[in-house]
Amino acid sequence: MFTGIVEEVGRVKQLRKTPLTMELKIECRHVLEGTRSGDSIAVNGVCLTVTEMGSDHFTADAMPETMKRTNLGKLNISDTVNLERAVAAGQRMGGHFVQGHVDGVGTILSVTPYENAVLFHIKAGRNLTRYMIEKGSIAVNGISLTIVEVGATGFSVSLIPHTIKNTQLRDAKQGDLVNIEVDMIGKYLNKWLEEKSGSTGTLTWDHLKEHGFIK
């Protein structure tokens, strides 16, 4: 389990690819503290298991399902990645519950400075947006963000200067692919509504109010 609060921006040091899998060596420092082989680290929001460590790097493997569902297969040497260690008992939950199980990939449509923030418009399929609500939580490349708006073909999020400065999205541009993990609570609620109604669920504020989840 993770919080979506990025601890460090690492850099891809080495890649070993096969048609279906990949071994990544990530250059970093901070997330190595207290980490051992077998521990979990989120890389751009993808939960990976540390297989080997050095003084300035760790190595992890991406399996076929991971390659299919995420943007890790598009990484190149020297690319930056968001890193977060698994949450420890007693640690503050600064973001929201992030599992590191990416639901799909979106495409950045635009990056627009707005006052002291930067607005990202991201294209995403209905299989993802059906779980989103305005003011709800979402993880984009492992970053816990608040949804500003949800539309028919995607959604938007607004990043404060601190987030831009301290995450991989400082390097993001139009056309980039980003990993998306929708709020797990939204998925459970949507599943419950599907089973209750016997049809494909659509999570909305009206649905939540009708069933007593919010007032």
Closest CA to 130 of 202, 32, 48: 202
Domain residues for the domain of 79 are: 8-85
Query: Is there a single domain that holds both residue 39 and residue 68?
Result: yes
- Chain-centroid distance of CA 6 in Å reads 10
Output the domain CATH number for residue 124.
2.40.30.20
> With contact defined as beta carbons under 8 Å apart, do 31 and 82 qualify?
no
pLDDT (tens place) for every residue of the chain, 215 residues total:
899 999 999 999 999 998 899 999 999 999 999 999 999 999 999 999 999 999 999 999 999 999 999 999 999 999 999 999 998 877 777 778 899 999 999 999 999 998 899 999 999 999 999 999 999 999 999 999 999 999 989 999 999 999 999 999 999 999 999 999 998 887 877 777 777 776 555 556 566 666 666 66
Query: Is there a single domain that holds both residue 58 and residue 133?
Result: no
- Integer Cα distance of 91 and 174 in angstroms: 35
- Please provide the distance, in angstroms rounded to a whole number, between the alpha carbons at the two ends of the chain: 29
Instruction: State pTM to two decimals.
Output: 0.87
Q: Where a domain ends, among 40, 55, 85?
A: 85
Neighbours of 16 (CB within 10 A): 11
> With contact defined as beta carbons under 8 Å apart, do 8 and 31 qualify?
yes
- Integer Cα distance of 204 and 139 in angstroms: 19
Quote the number of domains for the chain: 2
Pairing mode of beta strands 8-17, 117-123: unpaired
Query: Is there a single domain that holds both residue 119 and residue 150?
Result: yes
- Integer Cα distance of 214 and 209 in angstroms: 5
